[in-house]
Amino acid sequence: MINKNIEKVLNEQINKEMYSAYLYLSMSAYLSSINLNGFAHWTRQQYIEEQEHALRLYDYVINRSGKVVLKAIDSVKTEWNGVINVFEDILAHERKITDSINNLVNIAYKENDHATVNLLQWFVSEQVEEEATVSDILDQLKLIEGKGSGLFILDREAKTRTAATTNE
């Protein structure tokens, strides 16, 4: 049986992961609107991945005989000032999610809930990867000033991305 405090904070994280998915889908729509279809694909794949993260937590709460409580997802930003601004927002958002995951780990340790600590270690590793990947893309975009033939090369490369699954 899951600790009620852990259940509460995991439900909050499920909401944050669904917000993340919604944000990435909004970014995908924006990038499509400016004809950066590779980056639109990349952010849509991230949308899928964030839904998988939410479901990983959802399944965990249920498997621990807890109750999942789904709440409204806050509205998300819909306009950016170009692709660099999108990836700056992505990096800032992923850093917030990293902080949230780290806080969950601290709470799980405080509650002496080793099973939840074990679950969250996957998320800790995932966030390291997320931030590194986005930092690399952002650095490349800044190097080419978000324009020119370099932008089209990066956009084409972004189109090859596939979403990771919870089975990894």
pLDDT of residue 168: 44
Dist CA 46 CA 28 (whole Å): 9
pLDDT < 50 regions, the chain: 167-168
- What 3-state DSSP class applies to 76? coil
Going from N- to C-terminal start, the domains of the chain cover 4-158
Dist CA 35 CA 66 (whole Å): 44
Pick from 67, 59, 64: nearest CA to 111: 64
pLDDT of residue 67: 98
pTM: 0.94
Instruction: Kindly report the CATH class assigned to 4-158.
Output: mainly alpha
What does the pLDDT look like over 89-125, one tens digit per residue? Answer: 999 999 999 999 999 999 999 999 999 999 999 999 9
pLDDT of residue 163: 74
Q: How far is CA 32 from CA 23, 25, 41, 69, in A?
A: 14, 11, 8, 33
pLDDT of residue 167: 46
For 66: left if phi > 0, alpha if psi spans -120 to 50, otherwise beta; the answer is beta
pLDDT of residue 165: 63
Q: Using CA atoms of 38, 134, 126, 70 in order, give the dihedral in degrees to the nearest 10.
A: -70
